[in-house]
């Protein structure tokens, strides 16, 4: 997907395309329940493999503007198998009857990813390498749960050993998200070990976990994972009723024993609440919405409470729009079909979140600097203008560090302000990435336990001490002042925004050098000790040497009479203190009694380590 403006332009174009009045329509009709004949409200009717679509009203009526000639019109509605009709436009009175999806049969199977791979080989390959496909074998999750994920996993916090909640809730709910098939088979259940060869562990969040999900109770979003009573699935022992839900609504393809298509709009966003929104349950009553339950995964509600979730807003963007990028592939499957899809409809199943491209295109950092006399004043603002939820988001150990420095000739200038990084930035040698005490700010959420100490893991949280993360479309500004000693030399002001996957103390306690999927961990790697999201540098010119305005008349290279001097340097739109005719009574910049004052205001957009494609963001 392109940048935010491109995305909004596409939405506006789509709005123009699909807003069709009955008077303009060339195909019209009704969508009804096949068993009862009653009209179906809010069915989606689409000219197959296009963006031409309309919804049905209370009478089940729809109207579409389609080209003259033969066409396939497909209707889909939540809770029904999709169905279509071949028509010759213009025409009216086209009735499409939809069969209701059967009730869930727990004796039925959840399809294995290999069942899907023969027809969806590209998607299978993408999913296999994705965080979703490997959620069940994330070594960090095992390290936090029982200390068995890595060689040093028993260091630092281990839930089964250290949490006061472990006695009453020994399994926790980790498996409900990271090994959902295992949880659905029998719950509550603990995470399976990394060496467990069963597909319930190795397949993580599989195809069926998403595409066989029938519904989710979004009035209870904080219940973790695929919890029964909140998330429901559709399983069947009848090969003709193997439902596969999708988000397009124009697929009426059937393969006996493998899939029968059904439209489910929850796959665009609501489904994400299952694992990207949850809270703890301190009193153990299985009510995660009550006061006293502390939210741990906040991403879904952050998006829901932002303008990006508003379907009437020009900013409307779903989770899928950002995290499952549109591709140029004309087909979603390997089966030979008589139609092709337009660019963007077939989406990637890499399901990206905190990749380099996403992190480097998440926010915009600006910096204003002023050098007045013996002080450099720096204002830094971080705008969350490209992400559809808070930054950072996800589990509470995620954090961003803003680090601000001012140097002259390689030596740090003394910071005289009060905005300093706390201990969660790491206590130790700054050269090794321990930034506590340096000028800057940490963006994160800190929990505290029942005794008021923290940070604690979300399972043990009783309150949120502070939350400095930046909501969608919001900005945060901080100020820094540095003392400038007398003497020449330019001043370099540098602001960096660095993303870390965990508190440095937790990383050290576990001895992690790789992330949970076996990739090198940037949190412990020079030069930034985290992933560099934003990088802004400004050079403030220092004062000229004391004799800069005097030319030695005896110099053979002067080329001018001894009293000519150097021409004045004029600073426009500011003080004229570098001009020879200073009104302050001084003798100009070259005189021994001269007054030097330089005010320089710079609004600088950072040098961005961007990917070629800029995205609007709606990642967890």
Lowest mean pLDDT among 289-298, 352-361, 518-527, 553-562: 553-562
| Number of alpha helices (DSSP H) and beta strands (DSSP E) in the chain | 14, 25
Neighbours of 473 (CB within 10 A): 15
- Strands (E) across 341-484 are located at 364-372, 375-383, 399-408, 411-412, 440-443, 445-448, 463-467, 475-483
Q: Is the same domain home to 513 and 365? A: yes
Kindly report the pTM of this predicted structure: 0.85
Q: Contact 262/245 with Cβ under 8 angstroms?
A: yes
Q: Which residues have a Cβ under 8 Å from the Cβ of 44 and sit 6 or more positions away?
A: 53, 54, 55, 75, 76, 77, 249, 250, 263, 265
Q: Is the same domain home to 563 and 536? A: no
Q: Is the same domain home to 443 and 590? A: no
Residue 63 counted as domain residue: yes
Q: Is the same domain home to 520 and 562? A: no
Residue 112 counted as domain residue: no
Nearest to 379 by CA among 394, 393, 365, 359: 365
Residue 420 counted as domain residue: yes
Predicted confidence (pLDDT) per residue in 257-289, tens digit = 889 999 999 999 999 999 999 999 999 999 999
The pLDDT of residue 608 is 39
Structure token digits, residue 607: 């040098």
Reported for 229-235, long-range contacts at CB under 8 A and 24+ positions apart, including other chains, are: 230/274, 231/274, 232/104, 233/104, 233/110, 233/184, 233/208, 234/101, 234/102, 234/103, 234/104, 235/104, 235/105, 235/106, 235/107, 235/108, 235/109, 235/110
Lowest mean pLDDT among 127-136, 310-319, 348-357, 585-594: 585-594
Question: What average pLDDT is seen over the chain?
Answer: 87
Q: Is the same domain home to 510 and 556? A: no
CA distance 531 to 187: 37
Class of residue 373 by CB neighbours under 10 A (exposed 0-12, middle 13-18, buried 19+): exposed
Residue 339 counted as domain residue: no
Predicted confidence (pLDDT) per residue in 318-341, tens digit = 999 999 999 999 999 998 888 999
CA distance 545 to 557: 19
Q: Is the same domain home to 469 and 395? A: yes
Domain C-terminal end among 542, 557, 576: 542
Q: Is the same domain home to 533 and 560? A: no
Report the sign of the C-alpha dihedral through residues 345, 349, 354, 359, in that order.
negative
The pLDDT of residue 336 is 83
Residue 451 counted as domain residue: yes
Residue 187 counted as domain residue: no
Residue 265 counted as domain residue: no
Residue 223 counted as domain residue: no
The pLDDT of residue 546 is 59
The pLDDT of residue 544 is 67
221 to 162, 180, 231, 353, 473: CA distances (angstroms): 28, 17, 10, 20, 23
The tally of domains found in the chain comes to 3
Predicted confidence (pLDDT) per residue in 174-229, tens digit = 999 999 999 999 999 999 999 999 999 999 999 999 999 999 999 999 999 999 88
CATH of the domain at 439: 2.60.40.10
Class of residue 593 by CB neighbours under 10 A (exposed 0-12, middle 13-18, buried 19+): exposed
CA distance 605 to 368: 10
CA distance 172 to 284: 11
Q: Contact 459/397 with Cβ under 8 angstroms?
A: no
Q: Is the same domain home to 569 and 480? A: no
Q: Is the same domain home to 535 and 550? A: no
Q: Strand 411-412 to strand 531-540: parallel, antiparallel, or no bridges (unpaired)?
A: unpaired
Domain C-terminal end among 74, 98, 122: 98
SS3 176: helix
Nearest to 373 by CA among 477, 479, 481: 481
The pLDDT of residue 12 is 41
Domain containing 77 equals 4-98
Q: Is the same domain home to 417 and 533? A: yes
Cα three-residue angle 496-501-502, rounded to 5 degrees:
105
Domain C-terminal end among 69, 98, 127: 98
Nearest to 358 by CA among 366, 346, 350: 350
Which whole number is the average pLDDT over 579-590?
Answer: 33
Runs of H (alpha helix) within 356-481? 356-359
178 to 84, 108, 276, 300, 320: CA distances (angstroms): 37, 22, 11, 17, 20
Q: Is the same domain home to 52 and 77? A: yes
Structure token digits, residue 495: 């602001």
Nearest to 295 by CA among 383, 399, 220, 400: 220
Q: Is the same domain home to 477 and 586? A: no
Which whole number is the average pLDDT over 571-579?
Answer: 29
Predicted confidence (pLDDT) per residue in 449-491, tens digit = 999 999 999 999 999 999 999 999 999 999 999 999 998 999 9
CATH of the domain at 33: 2.60.40.1120
């Amino acid at each position: 997907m392109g940048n935010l403006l491109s995305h909004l332009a596409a939405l506006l174009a789509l709005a123009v395309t699909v807003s069709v009045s009955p008077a303009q329509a060339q195909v019209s009709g009704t969508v009804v329940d096949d068993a009862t004949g009653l009209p179906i409200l809010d069915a989606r009717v689409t000219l197959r493999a296009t963006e031409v679509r309309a919804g049905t009203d209370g009478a089940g009526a729809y109207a579409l503007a389609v080209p003259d000639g033969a066409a396939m019109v497909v209707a889909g509605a939540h809770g029904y198998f999709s169905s279509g009709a071949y028509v010759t436009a213009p025409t009216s009175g086209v009735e499409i009857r939809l069969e209701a999806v059967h009730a869930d049969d727990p004796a039925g199977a959840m399809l294995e990813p290999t069942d899907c791979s023969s027809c969806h080989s590209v998607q299978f390959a993408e999913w296999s390498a994705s965080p979703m496909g490997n959620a069940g074998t994330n070594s960090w999750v095992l390290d936090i749960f029982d200390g068995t994920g890595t060689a040093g996993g028993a260091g630092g916090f281990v839930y089964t050993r250290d949490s006061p909640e472990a006695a009453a809730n020994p399994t926790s709910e980790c498996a409900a998200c990271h090994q959902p098939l295992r949880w659905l088979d029998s719950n509550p259940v603990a995470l399976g070990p990394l060496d467990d060869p069963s597909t319930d562990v190795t397949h993580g969040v599989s195809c069926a976990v998403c595409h066989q999900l029938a519904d989710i109770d979004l009035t209870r979003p904080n219940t973790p994972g695929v919890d029964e009573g909140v998330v429901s699935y559709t399983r069947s022992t009848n090969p003709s009723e193997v439902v596969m839900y999708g988000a397009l609504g124009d697929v009426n393809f059937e393969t006996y024993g493998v899939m029968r298509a059904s439209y489910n709009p929850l796959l665009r966003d609501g489904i994400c609440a299952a694992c990207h929104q949850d809270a703890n349950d301190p009193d153990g009553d299985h009510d995660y919405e009550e006061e006293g339950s502390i939210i741990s995964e906040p991403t879904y509600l952050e998006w829901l409470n932002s303008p990006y979730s508003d379907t009437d807003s020009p900013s409307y963007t779903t989770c899928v729009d950002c995290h499952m990028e549109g591709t140029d592939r004309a087909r979603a499957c390997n089966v030979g079909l008589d139609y092709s899809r337009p660019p963007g409809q077939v989406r990637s199943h890499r399901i990206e979140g905190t990749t380099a491209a996403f992190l480097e295109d998440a926010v915009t950092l600006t910096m204003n600097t002023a050098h007045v006399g013996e002080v450099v004043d720096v204002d830094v603002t971080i705008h969350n203008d490209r992400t559809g939820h808070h930054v950072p988001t996800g589990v509470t150990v995620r954090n961003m560090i803003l680090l601000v420095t001012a140097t002259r000739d390689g030596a740090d200038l003394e910071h005289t302000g009060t905005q300093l990084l706390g201990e969660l930035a790491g206590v130790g040698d700054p050269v090794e990435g321990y930034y506590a005490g340096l000028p800057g700010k940490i963006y994160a959420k800190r929990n505290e336990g029942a005794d008021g100490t923290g940070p604690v893991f979300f399972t043990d949280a009783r309150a949120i001490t502070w939350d400095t993360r930046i909501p969608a479309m919001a900005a945060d500004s901080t100020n820094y002042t540095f003392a400038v000693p007398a003497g020449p030399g330019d001043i370099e002001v540098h602001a960096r925004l660095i993303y870390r996957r965990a508190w440095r103390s937790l990383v050290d306690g576990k001895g992690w050098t790789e992330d949970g999927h076996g990739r090198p961990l940037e949190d412990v790697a020079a030069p930034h000790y985290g992933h560099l999201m934003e990088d802004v540098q400004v050079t403030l010119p220092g004062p000229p040497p004391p004799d800069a305005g005097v030319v030695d008349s005896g110099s053979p290279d002067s080329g001018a009479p001894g009293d000519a001097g150097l021409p004045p340097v004029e600073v426009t739109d500011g003080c004229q203190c570098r001009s020879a005719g200073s009104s302050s009574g001084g003798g100009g910049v070259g005189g021994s009694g001269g007054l030097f004052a330089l005010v320089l205001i710079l609004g600088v957009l950072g040098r961005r380590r961007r990917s070629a494609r800029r995205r609007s963001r709606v990642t967890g």
